[in-house]
A and B are shown apart, each in its own frame.
Chain A
Amino acid sequence: MSHLRFMKELNNLTRMDETIKGPTPRWQKKCMETSNLSINLSLNSSKKITSNSFTSSATGKTPTKRSDCKTKKTPSKSTRKSPSRVTPAKTPNGGDRFIPSRATTNFELSHYKILQQQNEQNGDKANISPTKREMQRLMGENLHGGDINNIRVLSYQVKAPAPPEGYQNPLKVLYSQTKTPASARASTRYIPQAADRILDAPEIIDDYYLNLVDWSTSNILAVGLGADVYLWNAGTGTIEQLFELDANDYVCSVAWIQEGPCLAVGTTEGNTELWDCSQMRRMRVMNGHTSRVGSLAWNSHILTSGSRLGKIVHHDVRQRDHLISTINAHAQEVCGLKWSLDGQYLASGGNDNMLHIWQSITGRNSSQPIYSFNQHQAAVKALAWCPWQNNVLASGGGACLNAIDTKSQVCALLWSGNYKEIISGHGYAQNQVTIWKYPSMTKVTDLIGHTSRVLHLAMSPDGTTVLSAGADETLRLWKCFQMDPHKKKESSDIKSVASRLKQSIR
């Protein structure tokens, strides 16, 4: 049936073209076309569906996109029949002196619009079948919740403000925490109980208040042994001696800058030295303390050092006057010092059993802590910020760890981003390294091997290996956070890129 009608339309069209001689103006052609009722009818029915989208949304979908316009309603489209094609001077795309460019005009749409207007004037709306109209109405009601022509959508033009820049939806925690059930994977993982490797560390000073081990992002481990600083390249296994201090001095702390070969070394004299380890030479010596510098922390170009007298000094290593500020933070020796990964907060722990959190306001550092915690019963040395939640800090001091009694001294703490676990180094009686699940704080395993207390912990840049430095003059490497081979490609590298970006922006 429809096939027959189509044939009839084609016949009509060809007949019409025969009667027209020479190029007639477009508007005349349109008039003639509208007089041809059958074309009108089919056009109307095929196009009526789109009428809603024309009136309701200004997206301007042209009818050309439609696949169903095979009825050839515009003369410009039809290649054989239109006279305008025969005379190239009149092609719609060429333009003339009145309308220089016709490329921007949508002829098919305008033609359709004219047709539609005429149809409405003629009042032949009745041409669409009642079922079709009913369907259109229902579609409109479904989409708009009512007949769109009877509704006015109004909004107040002074809009509500957007949330502050950098704000993150706090619900994210709610959604992400349930995604990885914390305890499910723990039991299945194999953790080697013996150390992967044991290195000799002769003359390592058995002093709880020092920080003598640091592992850089370029996989070089710096260890302060007595008066010497040694660099152990974990990739190649080569050992280099960086320097040796004078007879009575000893190294109190070492800290790598986040990026690059720069190592900060705190000494007994109260000086902080900066070493370029790629060229093995000293870059500068910064004073500021009158007693030994037992803890160091980097925050991009800011080096923060804590001394035996409880002072915290911020150095800007780029400037000639490197001293930014000095804070009398603790009553006794500062033994733990860590910047949060986003560089916003500094946590400092002291021998006075206090833990302070300081806020860094870009440019200047305030002299009052924003938080102080006095729950610790002994010196707070072990501090670690959670790598995946910016606002969580783990602190260990004396024999307490996050309100968990570990029954021994906590010397060092680290977070494992791979498994969302905390690893802690302990002293008497077992001298063990313990892995805890976070946030459930259930013990995963003990790694026993040291014969004296575990003073320091460091993690390899890939997060798989933990180095523990014991007072028994050994460094033990534990491969306790080995990644599953099939989930190795996960986002650990992406994460590190993001944090690097953050640091460079500041």
Chain B
Amino acid sequence: MTETQQKAKCITLKGSAELVTQYLLYGVNSILYQRGIYPPETFQPSEHFGLYIFTSTDDKITSFLNTVLGQVQEWLIQRKVHKITLVITNVNTKEVLEKWDFKVDYEDQKTNGINSNVKADLSEVETKDMKTIQKEIREVIRQITGTVSFLPLLDCLCSFDILTYTVPDCDIPNQWDETQPVFIANSQEVQLRSFSTSIHKMDTVVSYKNT
């Protein structure tokens, strides 16, 4: 096996973090579109992971997402982030109406006996076919689209925020601050599919107010 072939089949820690960040970006964008939080005119369709995904064209939203997710990507590489939460709140009452949890597991940390000897020499390179990963991501995003059918209508002006749950020794970057975790009283949770890049495992859970 030549080296190039091997490269094509491998996924590095960096690449995995990038993939996870992309999933977050398009996942968040499609949530914003599907849940009708911003006017649909401000979204543009584009193809990612073999799906047409609506992404926001609003400068403020895109720059917010890029900054936050850029930082998240860094933390993913450093294994500092546990969970990313998209919080949807009522603008007027500040009540949390919906919460999307993206839980990150670092798979190679729990050394399972199957390929521990492989890990010894390629500690940050894993072999999983890119196509399989993309297929898994595609399925999760399809499920996000499908959630519209059961989630309650957000019948008010809503805004969103992204919280990151990190390890306690994580240093706080400029313009970031510590906040409180959010809860939804009397909530209902739905676990969506999960995908794995064989380095990061991503669980997506939506919780919403039970009406």
Give the chain B neighbours of A152 by CB distance below 8 A.
165-168, 170, 178
Asked if A155 and B64 make an inter-chain contact with CB atoms under 8 angstroms apart, the answer reads: no
Per-residue 0/1 for A431-446: is the Cβ within 8 Å of any B Cβ (1 yes, 0 no)? Answer: 0000000000000000
Inter-chain CA distance A103–B40, complex, in Å, is 53
* Chain A CB within 8 A of B106 CB: no
Per-residue 0/1 for B157-176: is the Cβ within 8 Å of any A Cβ (1 yes, 0 no)? Answer: 11111111111101010011
* Chain A nearest CB, measured from B93 CB (Å): 13
Asked if B165 and A151 make an inter-chain contact with CB atoms under 8 angstroms apart, the answer reads: yes
Residue ID in chain A nearest B35 by CB atoms: A171
Asked if A169 and B91 make an inter-chain contact with CB atoms under 8 angstroms apart, the answer reads: no
* Chain A CB within 8 A of B130 CB: no
* Chain A nearest CB, measured from B62 CB (Å): 10
Give the chain A neighbours of B38 by CB distance below 8 A.
163, 167
Give the chain A neighbours of B155 by CB distance below 8 A.
169, 172
* Chain B CB within 8 A of A158 CB: yes
Q: Give the number of A-B contacts (CB < 8 Å).
A: 117
* Chain A CB within 8 A of B82 CB: yes
Residue ID in chain A nearest B174 by CB atoms: A157
Asked if A154 and B178 make an inter-chain contact with CB atoms under 8 angstroms apart, the answer reads: yes
Per-residue 0/1 for B137-161: is the Cβ within 8 Å of any A Cβ (1 yes, 0 no)? Answer: 0000000000010000111011111
Asked if B177 and A155 make an inter-chain contact with CB atoms under 8 angstroms apart, the answer reads: yes
Asked if B161 and A146 make an inter-chain contact with CB atoms under 8 angstroms apart, the answer reads: no
Asked if A154 and B64 make an inter-chain contact with CB atoms under 8 angstroms apart, the answer reads: no
Give the chain A neighbours of B183 by CB distance below 8 A.
143
* Chain B CB within 8 A of A87 CB: no
Inter-chain CA distance A172–B153, complex, in Å, is 7
Asked if A158 and B61 make an inter-chain contact with CB atoms under 8 angstroms apart, the answer reads: no
Report, as a range, how many residues of chain A touch the other chain: 20 to 34
Which of A150, A154, A170 meets B176, CB within 8 Å? A154
* Chain A CB within 8 A of B50 CB: no
Asked if A157 and B180 make an inter-chain contact with CB atoms under 8 angstroms apart, the answer reads: no
Per-residue 0/1 for A142-186: is the Cβ within 8 Å of any B Cβ (1 yes, 0 no)? Answer: 011110111111111111111111010111101100000000000
In the complex with contacts A159-B159, A160-B160, A171-B148, A146-B165 CB distance below 8 A: yes
In the complex with contacts A153-B178, A158-B64, A158-B175, A170-B40 CB distance below 8 A: yes
Give the chain A neighbours of B181 by CB distance below 8 A.
56, 143-144, 148, 151, 153
Give the chain B neighbours of A154 by CB distance below 8 A.
163-166, 170, 172, 176-179
* Chain B nearest CB, measured from A169 CB (Å): 4
Which of B39, B60, B166 meets A167, CB within 8 Å? B39
* Chain A CB within 8 A of B71 CB: yes
* Chain A CB within 8 A of B44 CB: no
Give the chain A neighbours of B180 by CB distance below 8 A.
56-58, 153
* Chain A nearest CB, measured from B155 CB (Å): 6
Inter-chain CA distance A160–B148, complex, in Å, is 22
* Chain A CB within 8 A of B103 CB: yes
Which of B157, B162, B164, B166 meets A163, CB within 8 Å? B157
Which of B35, B154, B165 meets A153, CB within 8 Å? B165
* Chain A CB within 8 A of B58 CB: yes
Asked if A155 and B161 make an inter-chain contact with CB atoms under 8 angstroms apart, the answer reads: yes
Give the chain B neighbours of A167 by CB distance below 8 A.
38-39, 157
* Chain A CB within 8 A of B200 CB: no
* Chain A nearest CB, measured from B3 CB (Å): 39
Which of B39, B103, B179 meets A155, CB within 8 Å? B179
Which of A144, A153, A156 meets B68, CB within 8 Å? A156
Inter-chain CA distance A155–B161, complex, in Å, is 8
Inter-chain CA distance A167–B160, complex, in Å, is 15
Give the chain B neighbours of A156 by CB distance below 8 A.
64, 67-68, 71, 162, 175-176
Besides A151-B165, A161-B159, 9 new A-B residue pairs in contact (Cβ under 8 A), listed by A number: A151-B82, A153-B163, A154-B172, A156-B68, A162-B159, A169-B36, A171-B36, A171-B153, A172-B155
4 interchain residue pairs of minimum CB distance: A169-B36, A160-B64, A171-B36, A162-B159
Q: 5 A-B residue contacts at CB 8 Å?
A: A145-B103, A151-B82, A157-B175, A162-B159, A169-B37
Interface residues of B (CB under 8 A from A): 35-40, 58, 60-61, 64-65, 67-68, 71, 82-83, 91, 101, 103, 148, 153-155, 157-168, 170, 172, 175-181, 183
